[in-house]
Amino acid sequence: MFTGIVEELGEIAAREDLSDAARFTVRGPIVTADAHHGDSIAVNGVCLTVVDLRPGEFTVDVMGETLRRSSLSDLSPGSRVNLERAMPANGRFGGHIVQGHVDGTGRVLSVSPSENWTVVRIGVPAKLTRYLVEKGSITVDGVSLTVSAVGGEGDDSWFEISLIPTTLNETNLGETQPGTVVNLEVDVIAKYVERLHLGQSTDVAGAK
């Protein structure tokens, strides 16, 4: 499990395309300081398994399914990525519950800087809108953020996030431009609540 508090802005050092998969070597001296083979590290919000280590770098294998469902397919050497190690059981819970399981991708529609923060509007798949509420939590490229506005309908649905200078400087969200594709993970609690509600509805219907 992760919390969406990015520990390091890493960089893709190498990419090897395989049959229906890809192997990435990621440069990240902070997250590799105590890493071991088999550990989980979130790369732009996607939970990946360390398969090889060398000083300051780690290698991960990404299956075709993950490449198709996330923005990792767009990564190339030099791409900067948000990195977070899995949270230890005694760690400080700084963001919100993040599984590292991407629910879909969104596309940046606009970036509106102001004096003290930047508002980013992101187009979201219609199937995810039911999990978005103003002041609720969402993970964008592995960053735990608060939804500041929700709007649109169907395929034109969108939400906004407001980014402070620290987030802009210490994550790759500071580099986003209109058209950028980002990984989205909605609040897992919202998904469980929905599932529970559907289960209750089914029980009631079956009892009639």
Print pLDDT tens along the chain (208 aa). Answer: 888 899 999 999 999 999 999 999 999 999 999 999 999 999 999 999 999 999 999 999 999 999 999 999 999 999 999 999 988 766 677 777 778 889 999 999 999 998 899 999 999 999 999 989 999 999 999 999 999 999 999 889 999 999 999 999 999 999 999 999 999 999 877 777 777 776 654 444 443 3
Residues 95 and 130: beta-carbon distance below 8 Å: no
Q: Which residue has the tokens 């798949």?
A: 125
The domain made up of 8-85 is a member of CATH 2.40.160.10: no
- C-alpha distances (whole Å) from 78 to each of 11, 27, 60, 102, 107 are 6, 10, 16, 23, 21
pLDDT value at residue 191: 74
pLDDT value at residue 174: 94
Q: Where are the alpha helices (DSSP H) in 15-139?
A: 64-69
Q: Do domains 8-85 and 104-194 have the same CATH topology?
A: yes
Domains in the chain: boundaries: 8-85, 104-194
pLDDT value at residue 204: 40
Residue 31 and residue 100: Cα distance in Å, rounded? 16
pLDDT value at residue 198: 66
| Nearest of 148, 182, 186 to residue 164 by alpha carbon | 148
Reported as a single tens digit per residue, the pLDDT across 119-174 is 999 999 999 999 899 999 999 999 999 999 999 998 899 999 999 999 999 999 99
User: The whole model's pTM is what?
Assistant: 0.88
Fold of the CATH domain 104-194:
Elongation Factor Tu (Ef-tu); domain 3 (2.40.30)
